[in-house]
C-alpha cells in the first residue's frame, strides 16, 4: 500500500485512540509495514501530541531503524521492528490506558494475566469462542530498548498465540495484519482489561 494511505490510516487511528484516553499527552505510538522486502516501516515521530497527529508526522525507517530524511522516530522503534519481524505484524499499536497501567502493575510479578469467558475475546484474530483463554504476558518495564526488544523476542517465542504484550506500569502493545486489525485488537484488549480490572475490584482483589 502507498505510504500516504498508510500514514493517513495511522493518523486517524491515533486521533481515535487519543480521544478514548488511550494515548494522552505524547504517550503511545503506532507503526505499519510499508514494504516487506526490503522491510520499510512507517512509525510516528518521537514526542508528538497523539491528539493531533498528521500523516506527515510519520517517518519511514529501514530494518536497522534508520530514517532516510530528517526527524526522529519514536524511541520505542526497536519493539515495533521486533513485532513487525517476529510476530509478522502489518501494524503495531501501543496504548497507555488507565486500566492497562493498573493491571500491568498489579500482575507484573505473575509475568502476565489471563482473560477468559468474555465474548469480546472474539475481537482477537483467530479466536472463535468466549471460552478462549487469552494469556497477556507482562514484561518488566525498562528504559533500555535493547533489553525490552530482547524480552519481546523471548515472549513472542514463548507465547506465540498471544495478541498483545503489556509492559508493567507502562501500557499495551497489540498488533495485527493491518492498521484496522491492530486497532481492533487494541480496542478489544483495552475493553477486556477494564472488565477484568473492575471485576477484580468487585471481588475485593
Residue 57's closest CA among 120, 65, 16, 49? Answer: 49
Q: How far apart are CA 183 and CA 89, in angstroms?
A: 12
Which residue's CB is nearer to a copy of itself, number 40 or number 122? 122
Which residue's CB is nearer to a copy of itself, number 39 or number 102? 102
Q: How far apart are CA 26 and CA 46, in angstroms?
A: 8
Q: Alpha carbon of 134 to those of 16, 112, 127, 192: distances in Å?
A: 25, 10, 9, 10
Q: Is 71 in the site for a copy of itself (CB under 8 A)?
A: no
Q: Is 86 in the site for a copy of itself (CB under 8 A)?
A: no
User: At its nearest, how many Å lie between a copy of itself and the CB of residue 46?
Assistant: 11
Q: Is 180 in the site for a copy of itself (CB under 8 A)?
A: yes
Exactly one of 58, 118, 173, 175 binds a copy of itself (CB under 8 A); that residue is: 118
Q: Is 126 in the site for a copy of itself (CB under 8 A)?
A: no
Which residue's CB is nearer to a copy of itself, number 63 or number 110? 110
Q: Decide the pairing of beta strands 164-167 and 133-139.
A: parallel
User: At its nearest, how many Å lie between a copy of itself and the CB of residue 61?
Assistant: 21
Cell representation of residue 179: 492498521
DSSP states of 84-148 as a string?
HHHS--SEEEEE--HHHHHHHHHTGGGTEEEEES-GGGGGSTT---TT-EEEEEEEPP-S-HHHH
From 66-74, 82-90, 111-119, 148-156, span contacting a copy of itself (CB under 8 A): 111-119
Residue 162's closest CA among 184, 188, 133? Answer: 133
Q: Is 8 in the site for a copy of itself (CB under 8 A)?
A: no
User: At its nearest, how many Å lie between a copy of itself and the CB of residue 38?
Assistant: 31
In the range 128-157, which residues lie near a copy of itself by CB under 8 A? 128-130, 141, 143
Contacts of 83 (CB under 8 A, 6+ apart): 89, 92, 152, 156, 173, 175
Number of residues near a copy of itself (by CB under 8 A):
45
* Residue ranges that bind a copy of itself, judged by CB under 8 A: 16, 20-21, 24-27, 49, 51, 96, 98, 101-102, 105-106, 117-120, 123, 128-130, 141, 143, 167, 169-171, 180, 183-185, 187-188, 190-191, 194-195, 198-202, 205
Amino acid at each position: 500500500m502507498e505510504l500516504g494511505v498508510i500514514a493517513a490510516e495511522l493518523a486517524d487511528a491515533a486521533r481515535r485512540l487519543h480521544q478514548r484516553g488511550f494515548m494522552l499527552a505524547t504517550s503511545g505510538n503506532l507503526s505499519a509495514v510499508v514494504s516487506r522486502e526490503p522491510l520499510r516501516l512507517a512509525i510516528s515521530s518521537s514526542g508528538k501530541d497523539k491528539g493531533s497527529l498528521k500523516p506527515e508526522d510519520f517517518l519511514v525507517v529501514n530494518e536497522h531503524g534508520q530514517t532516510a530524511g530528517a526527524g526522529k522516530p519514536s524511541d520505542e522503534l526497536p519493539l515495533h521492528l521486533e513485532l513487525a519481524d517476529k510476530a509478522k505484524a502489518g501494524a503495531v499499536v501501543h496504548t497507555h490506558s488507565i486500566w492497562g497501567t493498573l493491571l500491568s502493575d498489579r500482575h507484573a510479578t505473575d509475568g502476565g494475566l489471563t482473560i477468559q469467558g468474555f465474548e469480546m475475546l472474539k475481537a482477537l484474530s483467530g479466536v472463535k469462542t468466549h471460552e478462549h483463554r487469552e494469556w497477556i504476558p507482562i514484561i518488566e518495564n525498562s528504559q533500555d530498548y535493547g533489553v525490552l526488544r530482547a524480552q519481546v523476542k523471548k515472549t513472542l517465542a514463548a507465547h506465540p498465540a498471544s495478541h498483545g504484550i503489556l509492559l508493567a506500569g507502562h501500557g499495551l502493545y497489540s498488533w495485527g495484519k493491518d492498521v484496522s486489525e491492530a486497532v481492533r485488537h487494541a480496542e478489544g484488549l483495552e475493553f477486556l482489561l477494564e472488565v477484568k480490572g473492575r471485576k477484580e475490584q468487585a471481588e475485593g482483589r
